[in-house]
Structure 1
């Protein structure tokens, strides 16, 4: 056995999405970083070995997709990859190589694949000195020293070997009074899954199962116990080609020590399910007759094991009540998704599946949450001063883990701790000091690196763009959208999920449309309705103020107006309301109002043919609203047109729709190449320009097709500076599709005017920008 010693500033153990984003973030922020991964590829459960595609907040909330490093990766993967997305079993090696490429190109980052952590050396009771690793297939013992260690191993191996306190299983209800905690504590944890993929061979293909599989003979196991034999493909029959999340087993096996037993049992059951589909189910065997099993996973995707206790313990109350944390470094928005203990061995599946993924139910009302903030202190060990964790092993109760465990969320948690680790190293601080006294530094770095925080905006004192005046070649105004309004949505599809509403747009429940305000008055609001009856129908309408696009309170903050609309029989009728709102009777100067139409099952409120940026809709599920459909706009008109896409929006400090659109859009009818300009009262010295374009945040990753490039994103653009009385081009970029771009200029430019010109987008007739920063 050879021995080898290495020394780094930050040592990240675990190369799933949490660990990967932690390592890249630490390295990009100046820390010499190592990432140790016990598999040959990065990605953990998202890799081609396990093939669970990345879920996150945008599954439930429009414009809530995670940004930062995970966004950069997913945008790149969609632009490169020929493969379409299904929920489970479809990830291919293009994703693996997208991650590997980023890791290799990242300065300050050294990669240790096929390397497993086996031990920990401590300098004292509260400090880790090094981790001892074994390089698989190389007979090398590797000792890696570090200043800060980040445990992203899932099972909390580093924390456990360091003697940290951890929890395992369910807390009793009486401990924290959590709504979904059981009466008695137990060691029940969510189980692990493997997935499969099948392909259409174009001719009948037989399947003969091995003798050792689990034989399924009872259709009720699937159809009456919440294990639907369908899936999330957008083409007919795609549902039989991959899956399923409920191929899950945990207890009575221990998810840590008996992982191999779980793998074998999952293989038995998975092949048994495929045997049922191919040979036993009367309907499915005919539908699937041409399908052959192409791939079956042999690395279980684990949901839960140890949860390491941090300086803060998140309980279920925090996400449900959207608690505001001073040390917020990430956000979540998945529901409280707790799988039935035992998985396939349980008497039934989890509640959402058992009720057929209803969008309106008591279970949905009780489990929907967010978007909510995630604090740094739940990712700093309470027992070791130089240890953090990110991923499913963070300091949360079992119930709270039900929402923070999904990979989109764990990825931005990883970026949060990676950034904090770099601050710790660069300022020579212990991690508790960073959380207590330098949290604003961490948050501002995260925002600069493309992340989104609910309760913080760009306040970077070094960003000289914040001191500028902003003008533009033109500005789009919001006049509304109708059923026939044309939008540029190629490649953005509806993904079949449980998180959509009914197939009809009839007013089965109260429904609300957010409208961004940009004038000091609104005279008239109009909606496009169809009365499907033979009689005049009446629909009550209200206008309320809302705090942001995720304000799901039924009555909003304040009611501004109320009326009853009269709808005569017929199709596609524009019904107008002289609402006469202004700043003196409650209309906000900026932000959003919400136009609500109350229930009338005879009347259909038509969806728009275009998604108006930043304009979302929701519907009442019983004393609260939730997103309507996948993130669309309803048909409405507003008069006068609202100036909600103004140039100065790029200095709002937010880089997505939130409390306003926060977006500059050019007038698509303007004949000139669109530009936006920063000007200062004095000459500034600029060496770096950073841009954030729109795109890739409206819906979850699954909605974006292969080779996708968001039409809203700038494709070709240039930056020019006013030098010696004329415009001088200092940068030109072609064929861009990334949301955030950072450009270090060849030399420092001294100017009092800087202009970004967008020569082409990836399809949208309007140019658009969320933010420009200058350093």
Structure 2
């Protein structure tokens, strides 16, 4: 139908008014996790995102792989992958998109958010102004250029997850830009002026091999002289996407208001690099390559950091300080980049790891200036140095869930975040996070199953692993990682070795000075054996554990000796190697080569499936590593011990039952299965061997007395929530484990809430 509009003096865009209990600005992983958490906790949520897709730097617009405490499995943080909603997203992406297609990751995020009741999503919408009264935000104004609509969104609670802190900035909240001096916090990694005080932006590109040669004509603005990039010899025709993280620039500019200037310089760099690869003659194999994609917006690392009631600093990370209000954790290295980026004479990054994970206090996650503004993602209250670790996306996602659930508690109890952070109150936030499957290192869930009695159909004992998977030369230092209970003696262990002629082999028993770590920084004893021919060799260490902890049975490098391997895999037990992951370290040992205030220690790294191996061995007395009582200890993954129950290998119908003397009622039942918390599950580019990890329970049934509550097939998650019908009471829950993804199933717990 024809519509005709007469001339008018002026027109105005239409305006929509929305009312919510919680408004979140920013749809990166932090904002997505915050929105999902708050909506699942019953709040009416509006999520405003200024881009056409969700995910921020993880989206198809930037294509950076999401990572966190696992650090590409390149440090000593075993079983450190993020849990809760961030873990759910990573596992769902693995299931749907193990090849790492960035467009499919967009779809995964959009699908999860769109399906969530109580969550309104506004894409392509930019916040332009705010309204506040005193110390409280009241509403925001925003504009969508696609539908030419203005929005006014009012709310009670607000979360800034925008990366640049648009809410906090417009509301006048206290914040910092740049790096603190060494003197302010005693941080020895604080950079000087030569290194620079801010991280820059990056733009990536993808290439594709073609059947015929492809010509490339560079744009006029492309970098002409490749030697302007001191590290240009690192370039190759094989680099793609995140491999080019070091094509970075802009740290000396205003990384908010000069972002367009930075983008154009990065385009100049990218097209100059591609011109060099295609047309310099240095890369003949590039003839049949074409550039398939170049980022249209930069991936931004750093801009504003807002001030909370405390500031995370270098010592919190390196010393692994545990805060009374710990609500989240990190484990990425302190990863600082020179401000001049690709044009700098410095290395592209300076990375130092802690010996294990560190916790993040809730007091760093809300504004000291406003009573109803929570902070998440890159905005949290941290120094520049500490930000270098906490800024990575999976850590940001964990922080998003924290503030989403905190906003719900504040709304329900009509309190401020600062009041929730008080010692007498913050425990309810911590326990709520744990009940929902989030992980807080060294914080167990209290009374997960209400004094239930647990019975199981069988339990796996660790006696021996058969030598049925060939032989492996000891080409590098390697170690068997085994847990012991407090007071438990390490039994003598027998391994099968062989050598063509007599060889000396040094074997050491290591542990970690901090029993929460798997760092191997403390040598307990050592022994030397002579390997003369193929046979069984006995290793005996006189060691009794004074607390729950992991020990390393470490074999020195000797390529002339081979060790027999097993095909079996066990939850919470693995082989690690004193090796190097060049993505996150330069050596097999961290060296404090400039008095940076960090520890020196060896890196003991696992191998990724399907390259992971496990040596065959036998124990003189069996170890009880997977006892049913672990289902009641509130520890939700391997930490100082396996903390899970595993049925015996010959159990054809494994099941577990929780019994109560009195009838119980609950709103939800949460199960926590194994889905390999050591697997980094990077979202894009790398690709993964399996869509679900082998120990995950894929088919199970849950019974309340004689009522079937759930019959789940094709499960691919570690965390499974089930709603209990209203008014239903029960005296027993029975869980049947009917199938796994290929290995023995493992269960960490059942929670009632």
CA contact (8 A) 1:30 1:108 kept: yes
Aligned length: 709
The residue that corresponds to 2:475 in the other structure is 506
134, 147, 159: which is aligned to 1:138? Answer: 147
Matched, 1:84 2:67: no
Equivalent runs, 1:416-427 vs 2, <5 Å: 416-427=402-413
CA contact (8 A) 1:517 1:593 kept: no
The residue that corresponds to 1:160 in the other structure is 169
Matched, 1:712 2:695: yes
Cα deviation, residue 102, structure 1: 1.3
The residue that corresponds to 1:342 in the other structure is 340
The residue that corresponds to 1:445 in the other structure is 432
Equivalent runs, 1:82-161 vs 2, <5 Å: 84-85=99-100, 91-124=101-134, 126-161=135-170
Cα deviation, residue 662, structure 1: 0.9
354, 366, 379: which is aligned to 1:393? Answer: 379
The residue that corresponds to 1:613 in the other structure is 571
The residue that corresponds to 1:576 in the other structure is 538
Equivalent runs, 1:537-576 vs 2, <5 Å: 537-542=504-509, 544=511, 548=515, 550-552=517-519, 554-555=521-522, 559=524, 562-570=525-533, 573-576=535-538
**Separation in 2, partners of 1:518, 1:472:** 23
**Could you tell which deviates more after superposition, 341-350 or 625-634?**
625-634
**Separation in 2, partners of 1:554, 1:512:** 15
The residue that corresponds to 1:669 in the other structure is 650
Cα distance, 1:312–1:79 mapped onto 2, change above 3 Å: same
The residue that corresponds to 2:236 in the other structure is 229
SS at match of 2:379: coil
SS at match of 2:450: helix
Equivalent runs, 1:210-229 vs 2, <5 Å: 210-218=219-227, 221-222=230-231, 227-229=234-236
The residue that corresponds to 1:290 in the other structure is 288
Q: Deviations for 1:576-596, whole angstroms, at most 9, x for unmatched residues? A: 124466xxxx34585533334
Cα distance, 1:3–1:687 mapped onto 2, change above 3 Å: closer
Cα deviation, residue 240, structure 1: 5.0
The residue that corresponds to 1:685 in the other structure is 665
SS at match of 2:167: helix
CA contact (8 A) 1:4 1:142 kept: yes
**Could you tell which deviates more after superposition, 477-486 or 20-29?**
477-486
Cα distance, 1:660–1:218 mapped onto 2, change above 3 Å: same
Q: Which runs of 5+ in 1 are unaligned?
A: 86-90, 231-236, 353-363, 487-502
Cα deviation, residue 551, structure 1: 3.9
Matched, 1:435 2:435: no
Q: Deviations for 1:523-579, whole angstroms, at most 9, x for unmatched residues? A: 3123444557x44414153365765462425216xx4xx3523122456x5421244
Q: Which runs of 5+ in 2 are unaligned?
A: 1-12, 579-587, 591-599
TM-score (norm: length of structure 1):
0.85
Equivalent runs, 1:200-599 vs 2, <5 Å: 200-218=209-227, 221-222=230-231, 227-229=234-236, 237=238, 239=239, 243-282=243-282, 285-351=283-349, 366-436=352-422, 437-459=424-446, 463=448, 465-479=449-463, 481=465, 484-485=468-469, 505-507=474-476, 511=479, 513-517=481-485, 520-529=488-497, 531=499, 534-542=501-509, 544=511, 548=515, 550-552=517-519, 554-555=521-522, 559=524, 562-570=525-533, 573-579=535-541, 586-587=544-545, 591-597=549-555
Cα distance, 1:240–1:278 mapped onto 2, change above 3 Å: farther
**Separation in 1, partners of 2:228, 2:343:** 15
Cα deviation, residue 610, structure 1: 4.6
SS at match of 1:178: coil
**Separation in 2, partners of 1:259, 1:504:** 52
CA contact (8 A) 1:251 1:342 kept: yes
CA contact (8 A) 2:200 2:341 kept: yes
CA contact (8 A) 1:309 1:382 kept: yes
TM-score (norm: length of structure 2):
0.88
The residue that corresponds to 1:10 in the other structure is 22
**Separation in 2, partners of 1:155, 1:260:** 14
737, 751, 756: which is aligned to 2:730? Answer: 751
CA contact (8 A) 2:504 2:530 kept: yes
Q: Deviations for 1:472-526, whole angstroms, at most 9, x for unmatched residues? A: 111112235466459xxxxxxxxxxxxxxxx984355x85633445995543123
Cα distance, 1:574–1:381 mapped onto 2, change above 3 Å: farther
**Separation in 2, partners of 1:74, 1:747:** 32
CA contact (8 A) 1:691 1:773 kept: yes
Cα deviation, residue 39, structure 1: 0.7
The residue that corresponds to 1:55 in the other structure is 67
CA contact (8 A) 1:172 1:185 kept: no
The residue that corresponds to 1:19 in the other structure is 31
Cα deviation, residue 415, structure 1: 0.7
The residue that corresponds to 2:49 in the other structure is 37
The residue that corresponds to 2:80 in the other structure is 64
SS at match of 1:433: helix
640, 645, 665: which is aligned to 2:621? Answer: 640
Matched, 1:734 2:713: yes
**Separation in 1, partners of 2:473, 2:332:** 25
The residue that corresponds to 2:581 in the other structure is none
**Separation in 2, partners of 1:520, 1:10:** 50
Equivalent runs, 1:623-662 vs 2, <5 Å: 623-630=600-607, 634-635=614-615, 636-662=617-643
SS at match of 1:523: coil
Q: Deviations for 1:23-81, whole angstroms, at most 9, x for unmatched residues? A: 11111112211111111111000011111110111123221111111111121122122
Cα deviation, residue 406, structure 1: 0.5
**Separation in 1, partners of 2:560, 2:493:** 21
**Separation in 1, partners of 2:361, 2:241:** 39
CA contact (8 A) 2:483 2:642 kept: no
**Separation in 1, partners of 2:414, 2:148:** 35
Q: Deviations for 1:113-132, whole angstroms, at most 9, x for unmatched residues? A: 111111121111x2111112
Cα deviation, residue 760, structure 1: 1.2
CA contact (8 A) 2:164 2:304 kept: yes
Cα deviation, residue 767, structure 1: 2.6
CA contact (8 A) 2:467 2:564 kept: yes
The residue that corresponds to 1:495 in the other structure is none
